[in-house]
Every structure is written in structure tokens, then in C-alpha cells.
Amino acid sequence: MAATAKAQKGRDDSKPKKARPHSRPDPLRAYRQKRDFSQTPEPAEGGQSSAAGLQYVIQKHWASRLHYDLRLELQGTMKSWAVPKGPSYDPADKRMAVQVEDHPISYNTFEGEIPLRQYGAGQVIVWDKGWWEPVGDAEKGYRQGKLKFVLHGHKLQGRWALVRMQGRRSDKQPAWLLVKEHDEFARPASEFSVVDALPDSVSALPPAAAPRTPGMVQADRGALPPVAAKASPLPERLKPQLATLADAPPAEPAQWLWELKFDGYRLLARIDKGSVRLFTRNGNDWTDRMPGLAADLARLPIESAWLDGEVLMFDSQGRPDFQALQNAFDGPSTRGLVYYLFDLPYAQGKDLRQLSVVDRREMLRALVGRSESSAIRFSEAFEARAEDLVASACRLGFEGVIGKRKTAPYASQRTADWIKLKCHHRQEFVIGGFTDPQGTRVGLGSLLLGVHTDNGALRYVGNVGTGFTDRSLAGLHRKLSRLACGRNPFSNAGATPKNAHWVQPRLLAEVSFAEWTQQGKIRHSVFHGLRDDKPATAVVRERARRLPPAQDAPAAGQQPGPLKVTHPERVVDPATGVKKLDVVRYYARVAPLLMEYVKDRPVALLRAPDGVEGQRFFQKHLDTGSMDGIEELDPALHEGHPPLLAIASPQGLLAGAQMNVIEYHSWNARKDRILRPDRMTFDLDPGDQVPWEQVQEAAQLVRVLLQELGLAAFLKTSGGKGLHVITPIKRLHDWETVKGFSRALVQHLASTLPQRFVAKSGPRNRVGKIFVDYLRNGFGATTACAWTARARPGMGISVPVAWSELDSLTSGAHWTIRTVEQRLAIGNSPWSGYAKAATSITGAMKKLGFRPARPHDARQ
């Protein structure tokens, strides 16, 4: 019977079948099969090709491992590759790129959280976006496993290649290599890492320039991580940020970018739904004086913005000509003006002022790249020694260079985050009078110049008699004659020339000069033109400042002040290349978070003067000297010993890092009730041969036991091998009771699950097992606090986490000083309920059957 059926089946199969219509395989089938769209916010399908070109995106994806998803539009979908280390501008770096399922074009804009237990669970941001151009036949290159292309993104530019490694093309996830080709954008990895320098989302940026103009939107290089921009209505007025005159380049050149100092007028442009208004730095509305420029700005592809830049005019040699600019404003037309843009404080309903200079410039470059007007230009930055740039600028006829601290926000005032280095002395002066011409000269002989003192008096500082033309002399004479007065306006009238003609001190002269004399006069002065973009009362002597040798990166929230860092380039961790300055910057970044866990608590400082591989020691007392932000506590808190230490302010974290402190450990009690701990700490310390999965399981078991006893449990990575479970408690019991109870709890675990736990310390006792260290709960004991770095190779960080994140952790050092920014960028608060979770342990002790000894002095 079975044989007959089999034979019959064979005969049926041999019959010719009717041809079926050809159906193209669904390219998104694998994508949809892996996702439950009732749970994940990812798009199921959709999205269209753009007429501007083939779309490209890289999404930064914190899944079980951080990686970068490269997507190129091809054949109606986004061909996708997971790049674990991300792209590199170094052609020598061949980055693994594992091909994954095609994604819909609509996925290009996806940002958000993929929920737990969903495919690819974790945070996703749009790290870069733009357009790509195939080099040759894209489909052929894709089939043959050698796809070459040009990228036009906000962060990635130039020629790249995807090369499929040897293996079967039918592999579900073929391995490719992503390689940067040699071109003008290539850079050695030792100089620049694009994934480290530009870590954040570009979703708020305007679209990158289309491929029709290659290289138009090259990203600024060397940025520290930005702060998220906030929504804000467009202000009616905006004061510009002003630069401070410096007498020398800064001591930390890698923290600065440099632009040419243009010889023009500062100009801010306000764009609001096609309406453009142009303002001088003093807030004067000059829109009517530059109608052509206003019209060009109105055609920019942006609805609302404040733009900051300099308007100037070039001479026949292509050099800025301030006199020509002045003549243009004095004449009937301002045609020929060029507007160089260098900052973007507001855009598209967002206040960008708290972003770094580099991130604001990145957005501005993309916007200017889409302008069709030759009058609107982007002020390029240069990467070279400041001294060489100043020399080059002077040879080219520019005024000097402007330096901007890469991490600096935009501040509507004069700050030391923007500095100017000039080719020669040059500034504005108030005109208080003039002398008669001599010989064949007409109009006037020289202008008498002054500046205001601190008390507002106008002080005479010399004159200028060169740099004029016959036209400028005649124009100046007419203007000054209308301001004639019979009184000398200078406070030091005895120093002024005799037989001068006095005028009301309203006009400003732009003058260059060789030097200031000891008597406060200028020498070898040259007139460049009049200025009317600032009030005369604002003109003072411009004095060069010497910048401090080094400054910290500012932290959000509670900000530490400036700190001089000695030996900032000293390597602390040879395994990662982390330097001393990196440690200082890290503590500046996390100071507001870390302070929450050390405030009002005695601390111990782990110092590593020779780095993590050298000698390390704890410091619990100040011994000699002092440290800013670190205070000595009342000696009565620990009688018979030197005073304990506490971190009084965020500055203390930085002062400690300057003194080679790597780790901050804190007590389980606060200084106001030192004999009553307010938390219990359980340090899960795995022995040799214990797999990580058992450490995760052990943490869950500790949590379950604590919950059964009616106690809360909070989790954090240790920054080392294990995990920490923290239980907040009410301050009702002494140290001996709390320590005894925590010991009893660990002994209960060890007796219940002897194959997993051990209640005795020491390496021999915990081979293949986990010692839950309760000794942290004794008087004087400390534990590495939340957000401290660890003095171990790799520089792990102790990070608070939610219990729902436990399964995604890869080790106790899941985050390191190099990668913790990934965590900080998410900005969640896994311990948000900690403050209200404290309970008495009295009930828990009864449930466990623990009877404390008779109370006595816990310090004995």
C-alpha cells in the first residue's frame, strides 16, 4: 500500500505542470519575521527613494554589544551590514561588516529603544546620514562582493569599499570588510577616530549635501561628546559671543580649532519663515543696507535660525579690504559683499547654544553647503600649529586667527573659550578731534584718538595720520565738521596737541599700530576705516590675556571649576591608552552623578601614582597639605585616628584625579549619624572558573532572598569582575547588628545553595563559587561607589543598572572609561526609587531567625 502510494506520487510528479506566474521574492520577509511590530517601535515597511540620490545611513546600536549598522539604498531596500567597531578613516583599518537582513527605507529615520526580548533589543540612534554614489555598476559590484562607493554624510566622506570575504554567497550572514580608500579624507587612526570624536546623533541636522557637490559637508574633526539640544522659540534678539585677545596660543592645542580672523563687520542673521533680518554685534538692524544678502539668506533651506558670521569685501588680490567695505556702506550699493558664517546658535526650533562648537559647525556646514549663493560661505577651520597659522594669515593679508575651544557652548558675552591671535595690534578708537592738514594734503592732518578708562573717562592715546586716501580725507572732514564742539573731550587734556579741532566723541576709527608705549600711547598707527557697528562708550584698551595652561571639560549640572592638570599626557592604563587628563575629564563629566553617592559620607581614595599597573594605595586621611573640595571631618567621628575625609564638592573629585586618585570608595553611613549605617552592600566576588552567567544568576538569587525578607535591592556593576547589590535601610541599628545580619544572610545562601555560594572569603574557598562579600558592612569598611572608575587594566566603571538590564551585561566592567559615554548619552535613572526604598531590617531579621547580640559600641 505504501509502495503503491509512493509510486503513484512519483507518476504524479512526472506529469508536466502548468507554468505559474513568476513572483519576485519579498526582500523584507526576513526583516518582518524577526520582529513583533505590536511590541517594537521599528517600522514594518514603507519609505521611498529620494530624487536627490541614493540614501545612506549608519545607526549606532546598543544591543547585546555596541555596533554600527551601515545601510545603503539599493534595489528598493536598505542593504545592511553590522560593523562591530564602526567605520575608520584609516585605509589600514579593515573593519568587519557582517551582512544582515535588508531593512525598509523608512528605517533610515528610526531612533529609539527596541524593547527587551525583542530582536536587537537596545538603544538606536542615527549616527550619520546622507547620500552615496556607486563607483561603477552598483548591482554588479554587490553581486560580485566588491562594492565601491562615495559617501556624502555629515561624518563620513570620500571613497569607501565593501569587500565580501571568502565564503559561500548563500551564507545567511556573509562577512564583508568595510575599508576607507586613499583620498583627501583619509586619516591615520592614531590621529583621528571618527566614532570616538563624533559619538552622537545627527537626526536633528538638516539633510547632508546631495552628491552633486562632493565633499561639501565634510565634518569637523576632534569633537568631545555634545549635549542634547532643547526646543526653544526663536528669540527676537541675540547678543554675539566675543573673543578675548590672547598674547600666546593655548597650552592644550588639541582642544582648539582655528579660523581666519576676517577684516569685516560682525553680522548676525535672523531667519523666520522666509523673513530675514540682519543685525550688527551691537544690535543695530542693517537689513535695509544689505538687501541682496538678505534675499540670498531667505533662500536657504531652513525655516528658522540665528546665523553668526562676518560680512566683508575683498580687494583685487582676494584679500579682505576694510576700507572697501566701509566705502560700500557709505555708497549707494553693497553689491559684492561676502558673508562668512561660522556659528549656528539656533536652528529649526532648537536652542543649539549648549552644543559644542564642533557640533554647531557640523550643522552649519550642511546648511551652507545647500546654498546657491556665492555670497554665503562657510568659514573653514584649520588643523595646524597656531603659530604657523598666524604667520600664514599675516602673509596672506588677514588680520590674524580666531581660536575656539572645541567643547565650548555659545555664550552671548566675551569669553576665553574664543580667543584671537593678531598679526599686529589693531582695535577701534574714539575720535575726539583732528589737526589741520599740512602741505598739499586736504581735509585734515591726523585724527586724535582715545579709549575709555574703567571709570568711563575718555583718555587720549595718540593720533593716526596715515592710511588715508583723498576720498576718505574729504569724507572724514565732512563728518567731523558736523560734530564740532568747543571743548576738549579727553580727560588728560594736557597731553593733547595744541590748535586741534575738537569734536563730539561719537565716531570710531579702526586703527592698526606697532605697540603701546609705557606711557600708554600707540606708535606707528595706520587708519583702516570708520566703524559704526558698536557704540563709542564701549571702546576701551584691548589687553591681551594669558590663558591658563589647561582646563577641564565642564560637566553638566553642578560644574567643577578650572583646574591645572600636571602631566596630563601621562598614560594611566597602557592597555587602553587612557591618560591622566582622560581621568580628570571623566570625573568632570560624571561629578553631578557621583556626588549623590559620596555626599556627607567618609571616603577612601585609591591612588595610583604610576598607573594601574604600578603601586596602588588607599588614602583615608589628609596627612599633610590640602585638596580643593575635599574636607576633613570632625575627629570625634573616629576617635584616636586622624580625621576622616569627605568629598565636599565636585571640585574634590577633580583635585583627587589631579593627585592620581583613580577610585572613590565610601562608607555605608553618613557623617551626621556615623554609628548608624543607612545601607547594606553585597559584593558578588566570583572565584576562578565561574562563568559570567552564574554571576548574573547569583545576583538574581540575592535579590529574591532580599525581597522575600521585605527589603529592596538595587544593582550596579562593580567595574571589576562582579556585581554589587545595594539595600537601603533605615538608620535604626548599629554596625555590629547590620554586619551580623548581612553575614547571616550570606550564610543562609551558602547553606541553601552550596554549589553556587560560599560564606568564607579567600581565593581557595571560592574556586568555582561566588563569595557574597558582607564584610563591606562593618564599621570603617568602604565600597567602590557608583560611577567611580577602577584602577585595573581596561579602566572599568561601576555603573547603576536596572534589574531588567542584568541579562544584557557582559561583565562587571561592561562600561569602561572609554565607553561609558554610551551609557551617559541614554540618560536613564535606574535607581530613581532609591531614596524612598529604605526600610527597617527588624522584620527581616525575624524572618531569617537572626538574633542580634546585645548592642554595644560598634567601633570596638
Q: Assign 261 a pLDDT band (cuts: 50, 70, 90).
A: confident
pLDDT tens per residue, range 424-462: 788 899 999 999 998 888 889 999 999 998 788 999 999
Q: Are strands 578-579 and 571-573 parallel, antiparallel or unpaired?
A: antiparallel
pLDDT digits (tens, 9 = 90+) for 301-342: 899 999 999 998 887 766 778 878 878 887 777 778 999 999
Distances (CA, A) of 704 to 371, 651, 680, 710, 713: 62, 39, 15, 10, 9
What would you report as the CA-atom Rg of the chain, rounded to the nearest whole angstrom?
Answer: 34
Q: Which tens digit of pLDDT belongs to each residue from 673-686?
A: 999 999 999 999 99
Q: What is the mean pLDDT of residues 102-111?
A: 94
Averaged pLDDT, 628-650? 87
Provide the grid cell at 717. 556593576
pLDDT category at 642 given cuts 50, 70, 90 is: confident
Listed residue (127, 173, 181) closest to 149, CA to CA: 181
Which residues touch 440 (CB under 8 Å, ≥6 apart)? none
pLDDT at res. 777: 94
pLDDT beyond 50 at 19: no
Whole-structure pTM value: 0.42
Instruction: Give the pLDDT confidence score for residue 395 in this predicted structure.
Output: 66
**What pLDDT, on the 0 to 100 scale, is given for residue 222?**
27
Report the C-alpha gap between 424 and 429 in whole angstroms.
16
What is d(CA 202, CA 228) in angstroms, rounded to the nearest whole number?
Answer: 11
Mean pLDDT of 613-619: 88
Band of residue 723 on the pLDDT scale cut at 50, 70, 90: very high
Q: What share of the chain is helix, strand, coil (3-state, %, to 5)?
A: 25, 30, 50
Reply yes or no on whether the pLDDT at 2 is more than 70: no
Q: What is the pLDDT of residue 381?
A: 83
Task: Give the residue numbers annotated as catalytic, written as ranges.
Answer: 261
Model confidence at 553, in pLDDT bands (50, 70, 90)? very low
Q: Is the pLDDT of residue 597 over 60?
A: yes
pLDDT value for 207: 64
Q: Given a cut of 60, is residue 855 above it in pLDDT?
A: no
The overall average pLDDT reported for the chain is 84
Which has more confidence, 555 or 587?
587
CA dihedral sign, ordered 621, 624, 629, 634: positive
Residue owning grid cell 596630563: 568
| pLDDT higher at 655 or 826 | 655
Q: In sequence order, what E strands does 63-186 have?
A: 66-74, 77-83, 94-103, 112-114, 122-134, 146-153, 157-164, 175-180
Q: Containing H/E element for 801?
A: strand 800-801
Q: What average pLDDT does this structure show over 707-727?
A: 95
For residue 579, the surrounding DSSP H or E stretch is strand 578-579
DSSP symbol at 17: P
Q: Tell me how far apart the alpha carbons of residues 637 and 646 are, in angstroms, rounded to a whole number.
A: 12
Q: How far apart are CA 153 and CA 219, in angstroms?
A: 8
What domains are defined for the chain? 32-197 (no CATH), 230-422 (3.30.470.30), 440-538 (2.40.50.140), 571-666 (no CATH), 679-815+827-848 (3.90.920.10)
Higher pLDDT, 14 or 637: 637
Query: Is it the case that residue 244 has pLDDT exceeding 60?
Result: yes
Residues 6 or more apart from 37 whose CB is under 8 A from it? 44
User: pLDDT band for position 481 (50/70/90)?
Assistant: very high
- Mapped to the 3 state alphabet, what secondary structure does 644-683 carry? CEEECCHHHHHHHHHCCEEEEEECCCCHHHCCCCCEEEEE
